[in-house]
Chains A and B, each alone.
Chain A
């Protein structure tokens, strides 16, 4: 297809190369330097989308990231597909595949366009009011229908093929926007030697200078000046220029989020290279040179394809050599549109007239238009437009009333003036101040170290833009612009209309299909606050955040409520400035790198044995070691039997470990743990319980005294970091007088548990320097020695109820020692076991697991450990809380008990509730809940631990546990199911 609307020359595109691309399956041609929008326009394609609610045909409205209509899906396949891209921002490449959105089956024949016929029946608030009754209809009917209709683009279903990069960066000055003001600021800041980052959302830096054929700067054309300035910046080693980079968020303390597109413009992009990069920039100072956004005029049917912003049309002409149509009507309240009219006129586009809302059309721009023979209708307005899939004509009428004129046109270019882009400044919590002469909110007092320059600060002329930028940069640079007359004017609100305003639709928010009438309805319904109106109408709530609509909406509110605009206020701008693909935020955190997978020194051995792993926090732990076709139940039964009858070996390396060292080490532990530590002799172990200050158990673990001044503290796997943090807190802030220091040794040691009646026979032959006999090393004692030639802390300790050892060796030797123990254990049938077997064995003994038997509301006495409390100690963390009368007064606290089901084969559901009478009316009185439930191979039946109200006094009682498949009958027993005397521990 030919590019019928492409001029033979002009613009910054490369006509020597032709690119082929497709839109909705149809092939078109464009050139390097084009955007998808400019290339479509060059081919005469204006209809590019259907509107969100009414499915009205929509065309390209703007030439920038504020585009509300031309939202397209781009990508060669689902894995490379991105929905909701703004066509003016999509750089053209050869083979680009794009499609329109929100239409079915096609743009020209869209079934949901029926909404447009019934528009009177779906005003704002329609959804809130209609889908309320009956309740069930919501989930069954309304929600699925709405979900079908809602949203614009389709989400890709396959994983994103792209990779994303991330960087933290620091600079003295971050300049947002590389238009004349931003470039002047960067040049000036660079001169001071500052580290400068200059970012711009477009592929090519330059901003307004890219469509500036007439102006001169510092004696050369704007284009030449731009080229020179960019070369200067490139030569500074302290300056980094980031094109295709959107400053999407302004966070506290001058942290700015930038999203830099890297390969989107490269066509068949290489998936090995990052598609984009998320920057988190900490800037000493931020200079916002974000420019201004042209405002649409709000008049009846102002949304037909062919209706564009005037400045956008000029940009398409000057940058891309594209004419928007053959015959354009200009509708404006700002001089800028005259500039567009003149340029188009020179380029051969017929001008159907200039309709100026302003009562007196005069000044140099108007004069120039008249001189060029263009017809100017002053104090006039457009009252109607025609054309379904493309504009065909419009009606012009004097504002004061009088006879209307019909004109034919395929293009209508409008301008309500410019709104300074204050989004980032507002995100920084800077105050906005309303300027009545400009009808705009301008940056006021900043909340962060930031300055706003150029048209973002409401400065209209090129000279002011350059000056404000240069001044903000602090380098004392100066620039002189010439041949750049100021364009002035503007209008906010609904343009005057004499007919029935209820009978027409004048669109305010194109992306969310909000009309002027909707805002008036919201006000009639009683909404007074701008925030309420916003939510009722959804004006400004689309992804463009009301870049085009906010000021017009405020003006309507102002007129209806008879309040000045500043009294109404403006809504808060939020990040992101424009949508950022999720991949930028995920960055490297995907798949295996989503989070650290912590593995022990023995993990590789276990994996090679075919162990099945489970996640415990970030750790991967071997859960069981299936042999042959064993399932978990069979493997665990075998592993349990091996430990009870022979010997098992278990990787306990993930246990948290803290070395507590110093003259006051024992005193510190006295104050932290409930137990007494002063009299624990070196070489002895004790089971410790740690409470929070509120008296509830937070952690537990065995603590060994290595010497008078050194303790080896163990914590739960999940509690390691938390406990160390809590200890540091008390040590640094409450007990700073204690001479004791804490060091995490969790990862210094691999911990190998050898458990079972034959444990000593396996370990002893490998030990040098220690006597493992029951007399020399009784239960709950420790010795420093060598195991398999490796220095070790050998603990005689058991979490299984059997004779057991836990061997702590420096972690890098862990696998070697493990393999030595396996070899030594072979004749004894040594059996590796995992966390599941560990859980069963400890439950048979009634040993608690913090976080399973406890839930943050459990005291030591609740789990039967009240006797461990060091009674003579004046204080420990949690002691005072436990002494409160509120605790003493509670007579029916939940206590740890064992439960046996009548049916020995029945496994109770963990978390199930316990009741006295299952026939009582609901809601039943719940007496407690199941905390642990296992099949005990040792006992040949199921067992369960539970927290039960007044549980210890209920021993022998028969209760009920309603489960997912019927109610179980249970008997309350002691939580220690196996070897209650503990004889096996002392073997």
Chain B
């Protein structure tokens, strides 16, 4: 049995499937996600195995190609990978002592991209953080809140934010972003 083969994409329905979105706010379907936990000693071997920088500061994203490692805590990374990529074997090889934890969470959450000059302002309707560029620079990524939903907020450029939202909270976040977006309609 090939346990790694990916089922047909048509079978995969996120909680935002069917939502089209527009130029300033749209859902991102699919993708692979892993929670990676590492004590300091495991960081370097894991970074080599994954080809991702794991020494970046806390609350920063390291990007390489279409892959990203968002450091959410002192020992916690959220890996955003292409759906086909399975990092388990590489890590197991690099860390034979098993001092790490890798857990797949591809379907636990889904992504929304928020773009445009008003993106930060729209987020500040429900996100309590200071999103000024000086306080929340490009490349910053952190777990935080959007109203009553936990999100991971990653600033990809001055005007583009990537949100990771737990599956069942995504429609709530999506609806709120829509309502707030209408405040900028005209």
**CB of B14 within 8 Å of the partner chain:** yes
* B125-A813 in contact (CB<8A): no
* B13-A593 in contact (CB<8A): no
Give Cα distance in the complex from A247 to B97, angstroms: 58
**CB of A904 within 8 Å of the partner chain:** no
**CB of A588 within 8 Å of the partner chain:** yes
**CB of B82 within 8 Å of the partner chain:** no
Contact of A168 among B11, B37, B124, B171 (CB under 8 A): B124
* A593-B108 in contact (CB<8A): no
Provide the residues of chain A in CB contact with B121, threshold 8 Å: 167
**CB of A768 within 8 Å of the partner chain:** yes
Q: A661-B103, A747-B107 are in contact. Are A600 and B180 (CB under 8 A)?
A: no
* B15-A601 in contact (CB<8A): yes
Give Cα distance in the complex from A812 to B110, angstroms: 10
* B147-A743 in contact (CB<8A): no
* B37-A743 in contact (CB<8A): yes
Q: A619-B168, A813-B7 are in contact. Are A663 and B99 (CB under 8 A)?
A: yes
Q: A740-B101, A748-B104 are in contact. Are A598 and B7 (CB under 8 A)?
A: no
Give Cα distance in the complex from A748 to B128, angstroms: 27
Contact with A along B7-37 (1 / 0, CB 8 A): 1100111110000000000000000000101
Q: Which of A272, A273, A282, A811 has the most CB of B within 10 A?
A: A811
**B183 shortest CB reach to chain A, Å:** 6
**CB of A101 within 8 Å of the partner chain:** no
Within 8 A of A (CB), among B133-169: 135, 147-149, 166-169
Provide the residues of chain B in CB contact with A785, threshold 8 Å: 1
**CB of A745 within 8 Å of the partner chain:** yes
**B131 shortest CB reach to chain A, Å:** 8
Contact with B along A560-598 (1 / 0, CB 8 A): 000000000000000000000000000011001101111
**B87 shortest CB reach to chain A, Å:** 14
Within 8 A of B (CB), among A695-727: 709
Contact of B3 among A601, A786, A813, A815 (CB under 8 A): A786
**CB of A659 within 8 Å of the partner chain:** yes
Contact with B along A237-278 (1 / 0, CB 8 A): 000000000000000000000000000000000001110000
**CB of A599 within 8 Å of the partner chain:** yes
* B167-A168 in contact (CB<8A): no
Q: A272-B182, A709-B98, A815-B13 are in contact. Are A768 and B103 (CB under 8 A)?
A: no
Range for the number of chain B residues in contact with chain A: 35 or more
Give Cα distance in the complex from A598 to B129, angstroms: 25
**B63 shortest CB reach to chain A, Å:** 22
**CB of B59 within 8 Å of the partner chain:** no
**CB of A963 within 8 Å of the partner chain:** no
* B127-A168 in contact (CB<8A): yes
Give Cα distance in the complex from A520 to B132, angstroms: 55
Give Cα distance in the complex from A274 to B180, angstroms: 10
Give Cα distance in the complex from A600 to B107, angstroms: 12
Provide the residues of chain B in CB contact with A596, threshold 8 Å: 148-149, 168-169, 172
* A768-B1 in contact (CB<8A): yes
Give Cα distance in the complex from A811 to B13, angstroms: 8
**A78 shortest CB reach to chain B, Å:** 24
Within 8 A of A (CB), among B100-125: 100-109, 121, 124-125
**CB of A769 within 8 Å of the partner chain:** yes
Give Cα distance in the complex from A972 to B166, angstroms: 46
**B156 shortest CB reach to chain A, Å:** 21
**CB of A166 within 8 Å of the partner chain:** yes
Provide the residues of chain A in CB contact with B8, threshold 8 Å: 789
Q: A167-B125, A816-B11 are in contact. Are A600 and B37 (CB under 8 A)?
A: no
Within 8 A of A (CB), among B64-117: 75, 97-109
Size of the chain A interface, CB-CB below 8 angstroms:
55
* A811-B107 in contact (CB<8A): yes
Contact of B11 among A589, A619, A659, A813 (CB under 8 A): A813
**B34 shortest CB reach to chain A, Å:** 9
Contact of A588 among B15, B168, B179 (CB under 8 A): B179
Within 8 A of B (CB), among A719-778: 739-741, 743-749, 768-769
Provide the residues of chain A in CB contact with B124, threshold 8 Å: 167-169
**B81 shortest CB reach to chain A, Å:** 15
Provide the residues of chain A in CB contact with B37, threshold 8 Å: 661, 741, 743
Provide the residues of chain A in CB contact with B169, threshold 8 Å: 596, 598
Counting residue pairs across A and B whose Cβ atoms lie within 8 Å, the total is 138
**CB of A798 within 8 Å of the partner chain:** no
Give Cα distance in the complex from A746 to B75, angstroms: 21
Provide the residues of chain B in CB contact with A816, threshold 8 Å: 7, 11, 13
Q: Of all chain B residues, which has the CB nearest A618?
A: B168
Q: Of all chain A residues, which has the CB nearest B10?
A: A816
**CB of B39 within 8 Å of the partner chain:** yes
Q: Of all chain B residues, which has the CB nearest A810?
A: B107
Give Cα distance in the complex from A816 to B27, angstroms: 21
**CB of A662 within 8 Å of the partner chain:** yes
**CB of A531 within 8 Å of the partner chain:** no
Give Cα distance in the complex from A167 to B179, angstroms: 13
**B166 shortest CB reach to chain A, Å:** 5
Contact with B along A652-695 (1 / 0, CB 8 A): 00000001011100000000000000000000000000000000
Give Cα distance in the complex from A600 to B166, angstroms: 11
* B108-A745 in contact (CB<8A): yes
Provide the residues of chain B in CB contact with A167, threshold 8 Å: 121, 124-125
Within 8 A of B (CB), among A414-466: none
**CB of A470 within 8 Å of the partner chain:** no
Contact with B along A204-246 (1 / 0, CB 8 A): 0000000000000000000000000000000000000000000
* B147-A589 in contact (CB<8A): yes
Give Cα distance in the complex from A741 to B56, angstroms: 21
Provide the residues of chain A in CB contact with B175, threshold 8 Å: 592-593
Provide the residues of chain B in CB contact with A663, threshold 8 Å: 97-99
**CB of A86 within 8 Å of the partner chain:** no
* A170-B108 in contact (CB<8A): no
* A662-B135 in contact (CB<8A): no
Contact of A810 among B39, B106, B125 (CB under 8 A): B106
Provide the residues of chain B in CB contact with A741, threshold 8 Å: 37, 75, 100-101
Q: Of all chain B residues, which has the CB nearest A589?
A: B147
**B29 shortest CB reach to chain A, Å:** 9
**CB of A791 within 8 Å of the partner chain:** yes
* B125-A588 in contact (CB<8A): yes
Q: A168-B127, A662-B101 are in contact. Are A769 and B166 (CB under 8 A)?
A: no
Q: Of all chain A residues, which has the CB nearest B167?
A: A747
Contact with B along A534-552 (1 / 0, CB 8 A): 0000000000000000000
Give Cα distance in the complex from A790 to B171, angstroms: 25
* A280-B148 in contact (CB<8A): no
Give Cα distance in the complex from A778 to B121, angstroms: 56
Provide the residues of chain B in CB contact with A165, threshold 8 Å: 125, 180, 183
Q: Of all chain B residues, which has the CB nearest A597?
A: B172
Provide the residues of chain B in CB contact with A94, threshold 8 Å: none
**A212 shortest CB reach to chain B, Å:** 35
* B125-A166 in contact (CB<8A): yes
Provide the residues of chain A in CB contact with B125, threshold 8 Å: 165-168, 588
Give Cα distance in the complex from A167 to B128, angstroms: 8
* B130-A748 in contact (CB<8A): no
* B107-A748 in contact (CB<8A): yes
Q: A170-B132, A596-B148 are in contact. Are A273 and B183 (CB under 8 A)?
A: yes
**CB of B52 within 8 Å of the partner chain:** no
Give Cα distance in the complex from A166 to B15, angstroms: 26
**CB of B50 within 8 Å of the partner chain:** no
Can you identify 23 A-B contacts, CB atoms within 8 angstroms? A165-B180, A167-B124, A168-B125, A168-B127, A588-B126, A589-B147, A593-B175, A593-B179, A595-B172, A596-B172, A597-B172, A661-B101, A662-B98, A663-B99, A741-B101, A747-B108, A747-B166, A784-B3, A789-B8, A810-B104, A811-B167, A812-B167, A813-B7
- The 4 A-B residue pairs whose C-beta atoms are closest, nearest first, are A769-B1, A741-B101, A598-B168, A661-B101
Q: Besides A593-B176, A743-B103, A747-B109, 12 other CB < 8 A contacts?
A: A170-B135, A588-B180, A596-B172, A739-B39, A743-B37, A748-B105, A769-B1, A786-B3, A791-B3, A812-B11, A812-B14, A815-B13
